[in-house]
Amino acid sequence: MMNLQDFLTMRHEILLILVAVIVLIGEIFISDKSKHVIINLTIILFLLHTIVGFLPIQEGKLFGGMYQNDLFRATLKNILNIGVFIILLQSSAWIRKEENRGKISEYFILLLSTLVGMYFMISSGDFLMLYLGLELATIPIAALAAFDTHKNNSAEAGIKLILSSALSSGILLFGISMIYGTTGSVYFTEVAANFGKESLQILGFIFFVAGMGFKISLVPFHLWTADVYEGAPINVTSYLSVISKGAAVFIFTIVLYKVFGQIAEMWNVLLYVLAVLTMTIGNLFAIRQNNMKRFLAFSSIAQAGFILLGIMGSNAAGVTSVVYFMLIYILTNLGAFGVVSAIYNASGKEDMRDYNGLYKTNPKLSLLMTLALFSLAGIPPVAGFFGKFFLFTSVASLNDYKYYILVLIAVLNATISLFYYLRVVKAMFIDPNDNPIPYFKTDTPARIGLLICVFGVFLVGFVAAIYEAIYHFSSFI
Amino acid sequence: MIQDIPIQYFLIVSTTMFFIGVCGFIIRRNLITMLMAIELILNAVNINFVVFNKFLFPHQLQGHFFALIVVAIAAAEASVAIALFINIYRRFTNIEVENISEMKY
Amino acid sequence: MNSEYLILFFLLGVILVGGAIVFSMFVAPSSKNSAKSEPYECGIPVKSDAWIQFNVGYYLFAIIYLIFDVETVFIFPWGVVMRDMGLTAFIEILVFFFILVLGLLYAWKKGALRWV
């Protein structure tokens, strides 16, 4: 039997729901003229929530094991919190625009409720909670993707996202139903205990991987990604590519390790193929993109391929490398998206050719973009290098020649990715332009967000204690 | 009684429904029909859950509750999707998939 | 009940219904002219296409109704176990209702309940 004190275990979720509800009450009772208050209110409340999130939590299980929280999961939530806080800062200039009047608080409510969904997804102890969290994390994003109601592209992005995610969750559910039929339970622990490698269970598992592959945008299931990323408003795109992908990667790792640990050799083969396809095709398509959002979309598909390498490590070091890489990926990708969003807000341009000669007019932003792209490419002194390095070592430590080949393919792909990341750098620093984007001053919140990114990239890369801490937490998986 | 019908019959129906749904989603070019195909998929899943629960694990109610929640979420999904369809209709004045492709590779 | 009976039942149904249709095809007198294909044979002329546009307000009402209707599904299981779970369950359902009412208030504030 539960008493009310047990609810402290889900403090993260309750606080975040509280923030969303406060924003909703604000939307109902604040008059239309002073709606701008909500922006600052939300950012401050979310900052408080992020700080409180780092306080020690009460570990345990709730609702008969449907929900569980421990240090590892709390760490994952804190990582997501940092990312969302940066996104909130970056989007404050965009949401203030005249075109978004009358839907300010909707942006925040939808964003925060998807984050609640991701929390529940990460903390889920059975497939029901996993599915609930997944849906709560995707349905509002479709509404967010269609947020620019005056743009055709945005409406198109929303429709593509909702249809493809609904299909993918249908497939995922079909897999879950097969697993339920053969094991007699939807709880992770019981499914793992009763997993007998029957063919129906394997089929269910494959359906499950296909459904999750949609969410992480692995390659045979990636077709929605580029269109949605291009059409959605830029801050929503960064949210999609960083936070929701991060949460899906986390829960995918947890489920693979905890529920399907018995068939690890089997999903290693599956992930092997998916990783090679995802890295290669993501990279090859990224080369020919000229729209910055589309370019970053394909780059994020390619990065998802690298993440699979860490999951294949199948041990604590593998999990650590995944979480560590995600932390770096969140900070760097948000840095890149922050620059793109600042430029878009100031000039309305998002094509790579418009970036020609940016260094002459906006040197700080160009340097920042260069740093973020170097980190994404994995050039040594920056944090991205360490992230990729740990991913590669974790899979190489499996000591099998086929994994060495995989690492070789991954390194080749990292080299290809260097080419297209440097294309943007070349555009900014070398290519001449008669009328480059004029100098503009980034607004203060976005400035703070970018500073956090830069600071974080260096901090995570150079302070070994962070890796050690993540390693320590990862033993709780 | 329902137990007299073999479980395979139900599973054949649900599997057929699932693949009809997937095919419909891929073949049909009208957004509303595509949404209907997704509802077919979800209902196939619901049949699966309820039948497994009824036939194989009747002492627990996990499958039934899963089906219940799938129904609720399908309603939420459909409402958001149809809202987005209305948005699409306002922008493009039709809801055929061929016409809604401004973005290409 | 055996499955043979079920098959027999289906076959019987198909034969009866199909037989009636085939039989009427041969027996019934048929006359073809354009007036036969009108929706209203009694003579009211058709004004326009059947695919007319409805006011979007219907959709808003339907969707709000749908959401609240489906949420009711969760109250029944709660009602079954409410006595066993005691105060916790009561507070939980209050939170549930609070969020639902907030949703309704939001729809109200946005003018979704006003008929235009």
| pLDDT tens, position by position, A44-69 | 999 999 998 888 888 888 888 888 88
Are B103 and A143 inside 8 Å of each other by CB? no
Rg of the Cα atoms in chain C: 27
Does B58 touch chain C if contact means CB atoms closer than 8 Å?
A: no
| Average pLDDT estimate for B53-58 | 88
Nearest CA in chain B to A298: B105
Is the pLDDT at C3 greater than 70? The verdict is: no
Neighbours of A97 (CB within 10 A): 9
Dist CA C10 CA C6 (whole Å): 6
Q: Which amino acid is at A83?
A: G
Does B10 touch chain A if contact means CB atoms closer than 8 Å?
A: no
Which residue matches tokens 């901090």?
A459
At A441, give phi and psi (nearest 5°).
Answer: -105, 125
Q: Which amino acid is at C57?
A: G
- Could you say which of C85, C91, C109 has the minimum Cβ distance to residue A28? C109
Is the pLDDT at B103 greater than 70? The verdict is: no
C88 CB neighbours in chain A (<8 A) are 1-4
Range of the domain at A278: 260-477
C85 CB neighbours in chain A (<8 A) are 1-2
Measured distance between the N- and C-terminal CA atoms of chain A, rounded to whole angstroms: 26
Is the pLDDT at B105 greater than 70? The verdict is: no
The predicted structure's pLDDT at residue A111: 92
**Domain identity same for A230 and A338:** no
**Domain identity same for A308 and A236:** no
In a domain, residue A20? The reply is yes
How many domains, in total, are found in chain A?
A: 2
**Domain identity same for A234 and A288:** no
Alpha-carbon separation of residue A57 from A52, A53, A69, A100, A188 (angstroms): 10, 8, 8, 38, 22
Is the pLDDT at A129 greater than 60? The verdict is: yes
Is the pLDDT at B43 greater than 90? The verdict is: yes
In a domain, residue A184? The reply is no
**Domain identity same for A284 and A233:** no
- Could you say which of C1, C67, C77 has the minimum Cβ distance to residue B79? C67
Are A131 and B69 inside 8 Å of each other by CB? yes
**Domain identity same for A34 and A123:** yes
In a domain, residue A86? The reply is yes
DSSP structural state of residue B30:
B
Q: How confident is the model at residue A457 (pLDDT cuts 50, 70, 90)?
A: confident
pLDDT digits (tens, 9 = 90+) for C8-44: 877 888 888 888 888 888 887 777 777 667 777 676 7
B4 CB neighbours in chain C (<8 A) are 1-2
Task: Name the 3-class secondary structure at B96.
Answer: strand
Instruction: Of A6-10, A17-21, A92-96, A252-256, give the lowest mean pLDDT range.
Output: A6-10
* pTM, two decimal places: 0.87
In a domain, residue A1? The reply is yes
**Domain identity same for A50 and A18:** yes
- Could you say which of A2, A3, A28 has the minimum Cβ distance to residue C105? A28
pLDDT digits (tens, 9 = 90+) for A371-392: 888 888 888 777 888 888 888 8
- Residue A192, judged by CB atoms within 10 A of its CB (0-12, 13-18, 19+), counts as middle
Dist CA A290 CA A466 (whole Å): 36
Does A18 touch chain C if contact means CB atoms closer than 8 Å?
A: no
**SS3 sequence of A178-216:** HHHHHHCCCEHHHHHHHCCCCHHHHHHHHHHHHHHHHHH
The predicted structure's pLDDT at residue A72: 87
Does A70 touch chain C if contact means CB atoms closer than 8 Å?
A: no
Is the pLDDT at B44 greater than 90? The verdict is: yes
pLDDT digits (tens, 9 = 90+) for C37-88: 777 767 677 777 777 777 777 888 888 888 788 788 888 888 888 888 888 8
- Could you say which of B84, B85, B103 has the minimum Cβ distance to residue A230? B103
Are C102 and A28 inside 8 Å of each other by CB? yes
The percent of residues above 90 in pLDDT, for chain A, comes to 18
Subunits in contact with chain A (3 or more CB pairs closer than 8 Å): B, C
Dist CA B63 CA B61 (whole Å): 6
A21 CB neighbours in chain C (<8 A) are 99, 102
Are A181 and B48 inside 8 Å of each other by CB? yes
Which residues of A fall below an 8 Å CB-CB distance to B?
Answer: 127-128, 131-132, 135, 139-140, 142-143, 146, 149, 152-153, 155-156, 158-159, 162-163, 166-167, 170-171, 173-174, 176-178, 180-181, 184-186, 226-227, 230-231, 285
pLDDT digits (tens, 9 = 90+) for A304-338: 888 888 888 767 788 888 888 888 999 999 999 98
Does B18 touch chain A if contact means CB atoms closer than 8 Å?
A: yes
Q: How confident is the model at residue B104 (pLDDT cuts 50, 70, 90)?
A: low
Is the pLDDT at B60 greater than 60? The verdict is: yes
Is the pLDDT at B41 greater than 90? The verdict is: yes
Dist CA B80 CA A159 (whole Å): 10
The predicted structure's pLDDT at residue B101: 67
pLDDT digits (tens, 9 = 90+) for A416-445: 888 888 888 888 888 777 777 777 787 888
Report angle CA A131, A134, A138 to the nearest 5 degrees.
140
Measured distance between the N- and C-terminal CA atoms of chain B, rounded to whole angstroms: 55
Q: How confident is the model at residue A258 (pLDDT cuts 50, 70, 90)?
A: confident
Does B32 touch chain C if contact means CB atoms closer than 8 Å?
A: no
**Domain identity same for A272 and A157:** no
| Average pLDDT estimate for B39-43 | 93
**Domain identity same for A287 and A384:** yes
- Could you say which of B4, B65, B68 has the minimum Cβ distance to residue C1? B4
The predicted structure's pLDDT at residue A102: 79
C3 CB neighbours in chain B (<8 A) are 5-6
For residues A28 and C111, is the Cβ–Cβ distance under 8 A? no
The predicted structure's pLDDT at residue A2: 61
| Average pLDDT estimate for B76-83 | 89
In a domain, residue A194? The reply is no
In a domain, residue A177? The reply is no
Does A32 touch chain C if contact means CB atoms closer than 8 Å?
A: no
**SS3 sequence of chain A:** CCCHHHHHHHHHHHHHHHHHHHHHHHHHHCCHHHCCHHHHHHHHHHHHHHHHHCCCCCCEEEHHHCEEECHHHHHHHHHHHHHHHHHHHHHHHHHCCHHHCCCHHHHHHHHHHHHHHHHHHHCECEHHHHHHHHHHHHHHHHHHHCCCCCCHHHHHHHHHHHHHHHHHHHHHHHHHHHHHHHHCCCEHHHHHHHCCCCHHHHHHHHHHHHHHHHHHCCHHHCHHHHHHHHHCCHHHHHHHHHHHHHHHHHHHHHHHHHCCHHHHHHHHHHHHHHHHHHHHHHHHHHHCCCEHHHHHHHHHHHHHHHHHHHHHCCCHHHHHHHHHHHHHHHHHHHHHHHHHHHHHHHHCCCEHHHHCCHHHHCHHHHHHHHHHHHHHHCCCCCHHHHHHHHHHHHHHCCCCHHHHHHHHHHHHHHHHHHHHHHHHHHHHHCCCCCCCCCCCCCCHHHHHHHHHHHHHHHHHHHCHHHHHHHHHHHCCC
In a domain, residue A368? The reply is yes
**Domain identity same for A237 and A291:** no
Nearest CA in chain B to C63: B79
Are A25 and C109 inside 8 Å of each other by CB? no
Distance (Å) from the C-alpha of residue A166 to the closest C-alpha of chain B?
Answer: 7
Is the pLDDT at B102 greater than 80? The verdict is: no
The predicted structure's pLDDT at residue B45: 93
Dist CA A293 CA A228 (whole Å): 10
**Domain identity same for A236 and A328:** no
Measured distance between the N- and C-terminal CA atoms of chain C, rounded to whole angstroms: 57
**Domain identity same for A309 and A379:** yes
Nearest CA to A457 among A365, A338, A334, A319?
Answer: A334
At A73, give phi and psi (nearest 5°).
Answer: -65, -40
Are C88 and A2 inside 8 Å of each other by CB? yes
Which residues of C fall below an 8 Å CB-CB distance to A?
Answer: 85-86, 88, 91, 99, 102, 105-106, 109
**Domain identity same for A269 and A351:** yes
Is the pLDDT at C2 greater than 80? The verdict is: no
For residues A272 and A406, is the Cβ–Cβ distance under 8 A? yes
Which residue matches tokens 């998002």?
A350
In a domain, residue A60? The reply is yes
Are C66 and B75 inside 8 Å of each other by CB? yes
For residues A179 and A201, is the Cβ–Cβ distance under 8 A? yes
- Could you say which of B22, B52, B102 has the minimum Cβ distance to residue A177? B52
